[in-house]
Amino acid sequence: MELGILKLIYVVIDGMGDLPIEELGNQTPLEFAETPKMDFLAGRGKLGLMYTVGRGVAPESDVAVISILGYDPYKYHVGRGPLEAYGAGLDMRDGDLALRCNFATLGEGKRIIDRRAGRNLTSSEASELAKAINSLVKLESYPASFEFKNTIGHRGVLIIRSKAGPLSAKISNTDPAYERVAGLGVAKADVKMILEDCVPLEDSEAARISARLVNEFVQKSHEVLENHEVNKRREAEGKLKANIILTRDAGNALPKFFNINEKYGVKFACLADMPVERGIARLAGMHPIELPPPSGDLVHDCLIRAERLLDILDDFDCFYIHIKGPDEPGHDGNFMLKAEKIAIIDKHFFGSILPKINLNETVICVTADHSTPCKLKAHSDDPVPLLISGGKIESDGINKFSEKECRKGSLGILEKGTALMPILMKTIKET
């Protein structure tokens, strides 16, 4: 560690960015929300906007996080599947095929009624369904086995292991909401909610085999899920069935990231609860801090994360903290709930840590991994707000943290998320 290095608290608020909303007086949820703590940080810091991957790219969270941690996603990204698998504790070897999955609701004619099965699938329900899939589904189109694991809520991960040659990640998604562009997972602008077939994206036997295995898994698991007792209960309770597995972002190898601690001469800890962010952080060399999964009570979750951060503040130099809150209401188009969640994070996370941190010895960066505009109900390519405060940073004299105010800040517009980490590392070493 360098002599006199400042602490860095790097907070990424998932999906916080948005667009002006007429019902909020043409304010964004961030601008509308009560955020006195982040406004305080803005007032004594510098502001800007950032394209987390680049202009014209509406990134998935994994691609965005890789970029804003300083890794060029076009160089290092290998598909979200392996990152999810690694973060979920599954054994992933080169040549295995890993895919991010959702439990979803399938209706007649391959129509997807809900990509997240009503977003009310409990972990215990998902675990029962996953157990049935693992015990009852057998892949027979090629010598291969699989392991399916539910993670949090409707989310899951699938690994297919070939008993012959390596499998190929050059296959399409069955999830219609996302596509692959230059190897990166991006949100589609125009989505038709129809279950898609997995098809090879290259002319190779490995890609054809891989696509065939995914389709076989999707079909056979659907047959198991359709009449499972969990789904019968859900249907009787007026809930949507979790009767199909959507797959996306295949990968057949783990990325070979440089070690972030060695590169910058610091000691990084990660406080994140979602498998993909935890997987990325571990592969980057960060020390993972154990956290309980999201409880559904954001106040409680923020207090726990603030407490854990303060407990380990003396043990590390830098802290990457990923808070999920506003992304889900963005996907649901619920702008009031999104603003409420941003206000909760401000009050209970930042409100808990700021009285106990010496800002002269600490740099705090607050940003988002992507925008999730409520009017789109999906990730967009809009830039995200960015603030850097504390240490010897001179103030821009702007006392509000919002997309509109960030546009006026001295940081300007960062065209790529990879530019941020070098700025932060320089800032904490300018003592």
Task: Please give, one letter per residue, the 3-state secondary structure of the chain.
Answer: CCCCCCEEEEEEECCEECCCEHHHCCECHHHHCCCHHHHHHHHCEEEEEECCCCCCCCECHHHHHHHHCCCCHHHHCCCHHHHHHHHCCCCCCECEEEEEEEEEEECHHHEEEECCHHHCCCHHHHHHHHHHHHHHCCCCCCCEEEEEEECCCCEEEEEEEECCCCCCCCECCCCCCEEEECCEEEECCCCCCECCCCCECCCCHHHHHHHHHHHHHHHHHHHHHHCCHHHHHHHHCCCCCCCEEEEEEEECCCCCCCCHHHHHCCCEEEECCCHHHHHHHHHHCCEECCCCCCCCCHHHHHHHHHHHHHHCCCCCCEEEEEECCCHHHHHHCCHHHHHHHHHHHHHHHHHHHHHHCCCCCEEEEEECCCECCCCCCCCECCCEEEEEEECCCCCCCCCCCCHHHHCCCCCEEECCHHHHHHHHHHHHHCC
- Cβ atoms of 54 and 66 within 8 Å: the answer is no
| pTM of the complete model beyond 0.95 | no
What pLDDT does 179 receive?
85
Q: What angle do CA 15, 339, 418 make, to 5 degrees?
A: 25
C-alpha 228, offset from chain centre: 30
pLDDT of residue 1: 39
What averages of pLDDT result for each successive group of 10 residues across the chain (431 residues)?
78 97 97 98 98 93 95 89 93 96 96 96 96 98 97 96 95 91 76 94 97 98 97 97 97 96 97 91 95 90 97 97 94 96 98 97 98 94 97 96 98 98 94 54
Q: What is the pLDDT of residue 181?
A: 77
